[in-house]
Structure formats: C-alpha cells, structure tokens
Amino acid sequence: MGEQFASPAVTVVTGATGWLGQALVHRLLADPSRRRLRLLAQSTSEGRRLESLGNVEVVIGDITKPDTAARLLYGIGADVDVIHTVGIIHPKRTRQFLEINVNGTRNVAEAALDHGVRRLVHVSSNSPFGTNAQTSDSFRATEPYHPYLNYGWSKMEGELAVLDAVTHGLDATIVRPPWFYGPFQPPRQTTFFRLVRAGKFPVVGDGEQRRSMVYIDNLVDGLIAAELTPAAKGRCYWVADARAYTVNEIVATVGRALHDEGFTVKEPSARLPALAGRVAELGDRVVQRLGRCQQQLHVLGEMNHTIACDISATCSELGYEPRVELYEGMRSSIRWCVEQGLEL
Amino acid sequence: MNSTAATAQMHAEVLVIGSGAGGATTAAVLAQAGFDVLIVEEGEWIEQGSVVPFSLQQMDFQYRAGGVTVALGLPSIAYTEGRCAGGGTEINSGLYRRPPEDLLQRWATDFCINDLRPEEVMSIANEVEQVISVSLVPGPPSAPSDVLRRGAERLGWQNSEIPRWMKYASGDASSGQRQSMTRTYLPQAASHGARLVTGCRIDQLQMADGKATRATTTLGDGRHGTIDFRHVFVCGGAIQSPALLQRSRIAGYIGRSLAVHPTVKLTARFADELNVPGDVPVHQVKEFAPDLSFGGSASQPGLVALALSDQWRTFSRAITDWRRMSIYYAAITSEGRGRVRAVRGLRDPIVTYALTRRDRALLGSGLSRLALLMLEAGADEVYPSFRGAPVVRNRRDLATMQSTFSAAKASVMTVHLCSTVPMGEDTRRCGANSFGRVHDTTNVWVNDASLLPTAPGVNPQGTVMALAIRNARRFAATERPRG
Amino acid sequence: MPSASRLRRLDTIVGPFADLLLTADLPQLPDARRAEVVEFVQRRANGVPSFTRFGLTVIALLYRGVMAAPGGRLVARFLASKSIPLLGEYPRLIRSLGYAYVWDRWPDTLPTGAAS
C-alpha cells in the first residue's frame, strides 16, 4: 500500500437507489472532502428521492442504453471517479442479466475510457467463480472463472468488459463482494430474518459449508479504498468480513441477534438433506435454461455449497480492514428494519 | 552389489520380499544387526544409465506390465509400479519430502499407533537424507520448473523447489545422479552380508497357525521353487503386498483402503523452447496443500503425444511444437478409497478405486487453477488432458474448460499408492500392528507404503523409508539373530 | 467367455485393430513404421495384468467381430471415434500406446504420421 488519491472533484455513482448504492451515497454525503456527487437514477421519482438526501446532482437514464453513461459524465472534468454499483441478481427473465450486468457495464466502461476518468470501480460478485470444491477451500485474489449459472456468467462478462477497457488504457479496479447484509436491505432479506425467527431457515446438509459475507459498511470501506488506492489499477479484490462463517454459525448468530433485539426466536428445525440442495440446483438450471429465474430455487441450490474468499490481498494492497463482524452487523441490520417499520 | 540367480530351494533367517524404498532399507537395517537376510526381487537389476529415464524403453524394463496398469472405476485411474531392483526409487521423480509432523501425530491418534514419535521419525529422516544425498539443484532451475515458480509468484501462491536425492556432477540441473536404492541401501545391505536374488516372484506364503514357514516361488524360467525362513518382510508396494497376503489366505483389514493421489494433467505451450526430455521439474506449488498440489511431469515427445491424445482431433496440430511444450499435473488428496483383491486363478490382483463427489470437483478446480497458473507464466496455449477439452488461451477459455470438465472424461493417473495394510492397533481399520507385523500372525511383517494409514499429501518415499527403518530397528531390538 | 487359448493370443486380436486405428488416425505413417508400432502395441497388450487382460480381450473380440462384418471397418472406425463408456477405453488405450511410441521413437513425426 502506497500513497492514496485525494477525493476527486466529482464522484459519480450508478445504482444509487440500490442497496449498496444507498449505503455508499450516505457515506459520501457525510464526507466533506467529496465536493460534488453525481448520481444515476432510473426515473424522476427516484431522482427526487435522491435529491432529498442532500446536495447531489441527478441524471435520469437507463444504463442499458449506450448514451446514458456518456450523459452521466457530460460536462465534468477529468478529476472524476465512477463507482458502478448497478447490477441485477434476481430478475424475472434471464435476458436482463445480459442487458444490465453485461451491456450496462460495458457502456459504463467504454464511456469512462472515452471520458478519461481518474478511476472506475466496478462492483462484481463471487458468482463468476462458482463455488469452492470443498469446505476448507477459499478463493484467492486471482482465480479461474467458473460462473455459477446465468448471473455468474453475466458478472464474468461484465468483469471481462471492464478488463478489456483496462487493456485500452482505462484505470479501473474491480471489487468482488460476496453475500452482503446490513441497512438498506431489500425485502428478500427481511424474509431471511423471518425464517430464522420461525426456526424455518432451511439448513442444507450438515450446515458446515462456509459462506463469506460482507457487512454493507465494510463493503463501502472496501469500495472507497479501491477507489483511492493508485496501485489498484487493473486489479480485482474480494471485499468481505474478516472470515467466512459456517451456515450453522450464520443461523445461530442471526437468531441470537434477533433475540438480543427483543424478538422471540424458535429453535432452528428446518434441516434439508444435501440432496435437496442438489435437486434445487438442478431445478434452477432447468428454469434458467427456459429463460426464467426462480429466486428460492437459486438461493437454496447455492446454499449447499461453500463460497469462501480470502481477503488477505485486499488488506495488504488496499489497507482494507473489516470493522464489523456478523453479530454486530446483524443487530444493526435488524434495528434498521425496525426503524423502517418492517415486520420481522 | 551383484544379484545372484535364484535357485529352486533357498533359505534365509529373514526373507525380504521386494527391494524398493521399504525392502532395501529393511534389508540394510537387519543385515547390519546381524541377521541373515535374503532379498527377493521379481524384476531385474538394471544399471542406472543403461536406459533413458522416463522413456518407453525404461517402462519395458523397470515398470510392471510396461506401465499399463489401471485401477478400475469411473473413471479408471492409471497407475505405475516399479518392477526392478530398487523398485519405484529407480523410476520416480526423485523429489524428497519429509514426513509431515502433524500428519504423524494424526496417524498415531486416529489409528492407535503405539510409540510413533515424530522426533524419532524426524531423526531417522535426517539419517536418510545423508545417505541418499538430499539436495537442491546447484544452479538455476530448468525452464519447465521455472514456469511453476514464475506463474505462482505472479499469483502470490506459495511455491518452492523440492529437494531431490541426487548427486550433481556439475552445476547443471540435468547432471543429477539419482541416489536410488541400487546406489545406496542395497549395496549397504550387501556389505553386511545380505543376498539379493532377482527375477523371482513369490506366489504364496505357506501359513500354519498364524506362522509363515515357507514361500513358494516362480523363477524367471517358469520353474517353481521354495524359500524357507524364520521371519518374512513383505515389501512389494501397496498393490503387491496386500495381494500376496491375500493369496496366502491371511485375513484381516488387508487391501481394503487403497489411497492414492489422483492426478490430472495438462500440456502448456510457450513462445520459447523449454522441453527437457530426460528430467522433471523440481518446483511444486503448495498454496492449496495438502488438498491440492501442482508440479511438473516428464515431457518426452512420446509423453506429449500421449497427453494430447484425449482430444487428438483438435490438439494434434500442436505436436510438432513439442520442444516448446511441457506437461504439468494437479494432484489431490482423495477422500475416495480403492481396493486390492487377489482372485484365485488370476496372477494379478484386481485393483479398483472410487473417487468421491468432492474429489471430482477438486480435480476440476485443480486443473483449472493449474491452467490459470500456466497463462500467468506466459503460456500461449494450454491443452488439458480430458476428452472434449478446449484449447485454453485466455481467462474466458478457463470458464469453458471448467464447465466442460468431468473427471469421467479425464485421463486420471497416480503414482503414489499406499494404505493397503494400514499400521495401528485398531484392527477394524488396520492390517498390521504399530510396527508392521500383520495382525494375527507371528512372523509376517509388512514394511512399505502399504503401512501408511492415509495418503500423505506429499511425495511419500521419504515417509516410507523413515517408517520402514523405524520398524526394522524395532524388530532388530526385540528379535535376536540366530547367529 | 473367451477361451484360455484366446487369452494367450491377445496380441493377434489387438494387432489388426491397432493397424486400423493407426491407418485412420495417422494416414501418412510409413508402412514399416506402422508395423513397428503395431508390434509394440501387441507386446504391451500381452503384458497387461490378468483382469485388465480379460476385459481387453472381450472388447477386442467384439471389435474384431464388427470389423469382420461387411462394411465393418468403417463401423469400427466410427465406434472408435466416439467416447463410449467402457468400450471406449479400448481404442483409448491402443491410441495412447501407439502415439506415445510414434513420437518417442520418431519425435519429428507430423500430425498426419508423415516423417517430417
């Protein structure tokens, strides 16, 4: 880790209304060194909501249209960083993976290259790398692609589009978060809390498979470190909590966090044989072959596997230090849900 | 050391069957302790340098069945066994790894092995390293070896040069002279009076009340004979040792838990010439050890053709470029198990092996990681050894490769065979006691790779030798030579 | 069930099949070289361990039966080009032995089998 960039004159964020986007925008707004924020919104109503947060410029547009990214960067100088958080994980149709995760990312990378931005940070995923071959394995900083179904394939193609632009001179860094949790979470995560409360979260197999997770604020730390570390050009980094958790540990910890926030929690009872996970995975493959996506099947199919990553290169090269662990992160996540008036 | 021709009737105080890493060390220790030792080897004495290392000619002379031996399964796993004076030590890569200390500890606990003290084994390993001249390459590594180092460095993966039991005449990596059993422990045994007989196969041990008294033999010319003895050490390797015990109707946990390091391969093509026909790379990548290790294989043009043969239709055009190519492997520690079964009326045992789901996944991700390392080291093209494999030129091709891979389509092979007569006091999972005496026998010992309770995850010869010497010393300390 | 005498004569069953495969795969391999390779493959086939030998004989006889039928050589070549479980192990073994020998003995052979 060497010197750090100063905050740029303009920070551009795509996907600002998403889970990660909202958390990032809140952080940037709280930082006085961020002089200008320019955000991409999909609609005028979204735009109005973003403008209510504070001093931001909003551009309305659809990232899948080639001119949107150019409009997003129009009229600002070269001292610009772009943080591209747009992505779709549970669409209705598989073709949206191509439109948003592949073409959308290519549009951003090409516009950033044409514009000559200081740094593009692209948010990828663990999915281009599939699952670990065994429980004790962890993905290293550089791994061969082995995409998990259509989402994984689209995130791989997105990464390749960015890396392709890097060979043409773009300064970009890729950040790969695994499963994240924390405030601003979408409704599907509320379901997760409800299932744990009811003791019905389906633990597949022996539950000793490991999952890397990342608390949303840890992820924002990692994104900003990737943005501001000059030596990170062309590199890819895992951003996750300090260690991977077993599924058993995740369920127990979430149960404890719910209990300590004053909820009643039933003993976990839902255990599924490993075979159920394999059947779900097979079902997911068939459904996706038909061009559709079924969220429950997808989640259950993946739940059977270990997906663990090794963040040591991220720590040594970006100076990243995960500050929050599972229990604490889950508690703040639960409190956020309560504040939002969500039923858990 | 000279071998003598076998005769129809022979006798010895101690009969040692097999002359490899286990047999040669056993014979040396016992001869030195004053026992009258006869070593019987099925193969012939082939002087080092008289055949080209890793060639088909060597396979003819020094491998069992010319190297065409296979553990049946889906997929079947090709394996090789040495069949000559010195056994596997004459033909293997010569890479030396110490027995891993934590593994010894785990074996002692899991298999109830008495008195398996890591510090004792390590001190024996020290002696062994002197005798067989374990040393690093004096000069720079060979180009194929440097590929492993370079690729691993770029990825930030742990790698190191593995020392070999070689004496180097000059500073050149290829000037090594392997310090195999025919150069070290066999002459040492002979200097203390041990006799070596080659071209003699042991068919059976005649047993009475758990005691073996006589071995029946087949000589090179097809005649049969016998050998009388007081004690017998079976050191034929992890396939032949259990097979002989089974043919001799010795019951117990024998031949039921064959362990190997299943291995898949690829060939990488570079811009510059790098092929070294007579040698193997000395670097190994241990980032994912012990589950997964990468290293280099012998890469004669014939072996390159063999490696390309699985997908010959699209790979064959590369063969004219063999000077720019070298073969590499990914080896795993398997959770699967195999069996060795002697069948009445058949000369050779039936060997089977079943990979687990996790083994198959690990072979696929291992081959993929190895291909990534090759690209990082600057390979122009990578040819994975499985049917339907794509030529890998870039990162995207790696995704195609791993999605088309299945272990059943791969040429899976192995060289490290062990664990068919595991040592330990737990008779439900051990064929021999804590010092290698076969359970329920009084004078039949096993002292070779068969005793290793599990596959060690490293080149096993060092572990085999250290344990064999430990056991032989224990024997010499408790049994008096007749004198 | 192959008889004992056939088991002993595995080489003569394997020979014509090896010749067929090598002619198809390496059409320009000179005749004298092909004969040498076939002899090597026969020798190795004869040396395989008992049980493998048994399986090899069964499959080799099957292929020999196919080759003897009208148009059978084409069918045998077609079968050998597919990776059929178990049955496919036989052509795979013959090929791997054959190619290894060709390039071990004459390293500069072209992919067609032609001497460079």
* pLDDT, average across residues B378-394: 97
Q: Which helix (H) or strand (E) holds A93?
A: none
Provide the pLDDT confidence category of residue B223 given band limits of 50, 70 and 90: very high
> Which residues form the domain of A45?
10-184+213-241+310-323
Facing residues of B346 across strands? Answer: none
Provide the pLDDT confidence category of residue A13 given band limits of 50, 70 and 90: very high
CB contact under 8 A, C100 and B303: yes
Query: What are the chain A neighbours of B371 within 8 Å (beta carbons)?
Result: 144
pLDDT (0 to 100) of residue C6: 45
* pLDDT, average across residues B455-468: 96
pLDDT (0 to 100) of residue A72: 97
B288 lies within 8 A of chain A by CB = yes
CB contact under 8 A, B399 and A143: no
**Other C-beta atoms lying within 10 Å of the C-beta of residue B67:** 21
Question: What are the backbone angles phi and psi of residue A211, rounded to the nearest 5°?
Answer: -130, 125
Residue B3 reports pLDDT greater than 80? no
pLDDT (0 to 100) of residue C12: 81
Residue A301 reports pLDDT greater than 70? yes
pLDDT (0 to 100) of residue C82: 78
The SS3 assignment for A175 reads strand
Shortest Cα distance, chain B CAs vs residue C65, angstroms: 25
Quick one: DSSP state of residue A65?
Answer: S
pLDDT (0 to 100) of residue B483: 62
Touching subunits of B (3+ CB pairs, under 8 Å) are A, C
CB contact under 8 A, B312 and C97: no
Residue A251 included in any domain: no
CB contact under 8 A, C109 and B319: yes
pLDDT (0 to 100) of residue B2: 63
Residue ranges of A 142-161 with Cβ closer than 8 A to chain B? 142-147, 153, 156, 160
Q: Give per-residue pLDDT as tens, A269-281.
A: 778 888 888 888 8
Please spell the DSSP secondary structure of B96-123, one letter per residue. Answer: --PPPHHHHHHHHHHTT-TT--HHHHHH
Contact assessment for residue A158 and residue A145, using Cβ atoms and an 8 Å cutoff:
no
Cα angle vertex B264, ends B259, B267, to 5°? 150
pLDDT (0 to 100) of residue C53: 83
The SS3 assignment for B77 reads strand
Distance CA C39, CA B5 (A): 30
Distance CA B217, CA B225 (A): 5
Residue of A129, A135, A137, A145 to mutate when probing chain B, most B C-beta within 10 A: A145
Where are chain C's structural domains?
4-105
What residues of B are labeled active site? Answer: 416
- B297 vs A210, B95, B328, CA distance in Å? 34, 12, 5
- Contacts of residue B271, defined as CB under 8 A and 6 or more positions apart, other chains included, come to B324, B378, B380
- Contacts of residue B242, defined as CB under 8 A and 6 or more positions apart, other chains included, come to B254, B255, B340, B342, B349, B420, B421, B431, B450
Distance CA A108, CA A73 (A): 10
Of all residues in chain C, the one with the smallest CA distance to B54 is C104
Residue B95's nearest CA partner among B244, B340, B297, B238 is B297
Residue A162 included in any domain: yes
Residue A157 included in any domain: yes
Token look-up 């081959």 returns: B367
Of all residues in chain B, the one with the smallest CA distance to A137 is B288
Touching subunits of C (3+ CB pairs, under 8 Å) are B
- Contacts of residue A204, defined as CB under 8 A and 6 or more positions apart, other chains included, come to A247, A272, A273, A274, A276, A277, A300, A303, A304
Contact assessment for residue A11 and residue A81, using Cβ atoms and an 8 Å cutoff:
yes
Residue C5 reports pLDDT greater than 50? no
Quick one: DSSP state of residue B409?
Answer: G
pLDDT (0 to 100) of residue B79: 96
Provide the pLDDT confidence category of residue A42 given band limits of 50, 70 and 90: very high
Residue A128 included in any domain: yes
- Return the sign of the alpha-carbon dihedral for residues A177, B375, B139, B276: positive
Shortest Cα distance, chain B CAs vs residue A148, angstroms: 10
Count up the domains in chain A and report the number.
1
Contact assessment for residue B435 and residue B398, using Cβ atoms and an 8 Å cutoff:
no
At least 3 CB pairs under 8 A between chains B and C? yes
B52 lies within 8 A of chain C by CB = no
Distance CA B393, CA B133 (A): 41
Residue C8 reports pLDDT greater than 60? no
Q: Give per-residue pLDDT as tens, A129-147.
A: 999 999 999 999 999 999 9
* pLDDT, average across residues A258-279: 88
Residue A257 reports pLDDT greater than 50? yes
Contact assessment for residue A207 and residue A277, using Cβ atoms and an 8 Å cutoff:
no
Q: Give per-residue pLDDT as tens, C75-112.
A: 888 888 877 777 788 889 999 999 999 999 999 999 99
Domain at A25, CATH number: 3.40.50.720
Residue A288 included in any domain: no
Residue C2 reports pLDDT greater than 70? no
Provide the pLDDT confidence category of residue C3 given band limits of 50, 70 and 90: very low
Facing residues of A41 across strands? Answer: A60
Provide the pLDDT confidence category of residue B1 given band limits of 50, 70 and 90: low
CB contact under 8 A, B56 and C100: yes
Helix axes C89-105, B301-308, angle to 10 degrees: 150
pLDDT (0 to 100) of residue A297: 81
CB pairs under 8 A between A and B: 60
The SS3 assignment for B355 reads coil
Amino acid at B221: D
CB contact under 8 A, B69 and C52: yes
Provide the pLDDT confidence category of residue B332 given band limits of 50, 70 and 90: very high
Please spell the DSSP secondary structure of B6-25, one letter per residue. Answer: --SEEEEEEEEE--SHHHHH
Q: Give per-residue pLDDT as tens, A195-228.
A: 999 999 889 899 999 999 999 999 999 999 999 9
For residue B75, is the peptide bond before it cis, meaning its omega torsion is within 30 degrees of 0?
Answer: yes
CB contact under 8 A, B358 and A313: no
Maximum Cα–Cα distance across chain A: 58
Provide the pLDDT confidence category of residue A162 given band limits of 50, 70 and 90: very high
Q: What is the ipTM of this complex?
A: 0.94
Residue A334 included in any domain: no
Residue B242 reports pLDDT greater than 90? yes
Among A133, A145, A163, the residue with its CB nearest the CB of B398 is A145
What is the model's pTM?
0.95
Residue A101's nearest CA partner among A81, A125, A72, A131 is A125
The SS3 assignment for B278 reads coil
Helices (H), A61-148: 66-73, 95-96, 105-115
The SS3 assignment for A212 reads coil
Instruction: Give the gyration radius of chain B's Cα atoms.
Output: 22
Query: What are the chain B neighbours of C25 within 8 Å (beta carbons)?
Result: 312
Q: Give per-residue pLDDT as tens, B271-327.
A: 999 999 888 999 999 999 999 999 999 999 999 999 999 999 999 999 999 999 999
- B155 vs A143, B145, B159, B196, B376, CA distance in Å? 9, 16, 11, 50, 7
B294 lies within 8 A of chain A by CB = no
The SS3 assignment for B191 reads helix
B322 lies within 8 A of chain C by CB = yes
Among B287, B361, B368, the residue with its CB nearest the CB of A144 is B368
Distance CA A101, CA C8 (A): 64
Residue of B56, B83, B351, B383 to mutate when probing chain C, most C C-beta within 10 A: B56
Mean pLDDT score of chain B: 95
Residue A158's nearest CA partner among A121, A114, A115 is A121
pLDDT (0 to 100) of residue A271: 82
Distance CA B436, CA B234 (A): 10
Distance CA B326, CA B320 (A): 13
Q: Give per-residue pLDDT as tens, B25-71.
A: 999 999 999 999 999 999 999 998 898 888 888 998 999 999 999 99
The SS3 assignment for B367 reads helix
Query: What are the chain B neighbours of C110 within 8 Å (beta carbons)?
Result: 320
pLDDT (0 to 100) of residue A285: 87
- B32 vs B2, B22, B123, C10, C113, CA distance in Å? 18, 16, 19, 47, 56
Q: Quote the tokens at residue B442.
A: 């009084």
Provide the pLDDT confidence category of residue A2 given band limits of 50, 70 and 90: low
Residue A65 included in any domain: yes
Residue A238 reports pLDDT greater than 80? yes
Distance CA A253, CA A40 (A): 36
* pLDDT, average across residues B325-330: 98
- Contacts of residue A45, defined as CB under 8 A and 6 or more positions apart, other chains included, come to none
**Other C-beta atoms lying within 10 Å of the C-beta of residue A41:** 22
Residue A282 included in any domain: no
Q: Give per-residue pLDDT as tens, A89-105.
A: 989 899 999 999 999 99
**Other C-beta atoms lying within 10 Å of the C-beta of residue A45:** 10
Q: Quote the tokens at residue B94.
A: 């010569």
- C29 vs A95, B177, C90, CA distance in Å? 51, 37, 21
* pLDDT, average across residues A25-47: 96
Residue A257's nearest CA partner among A325, A321, A158, A314 is A325
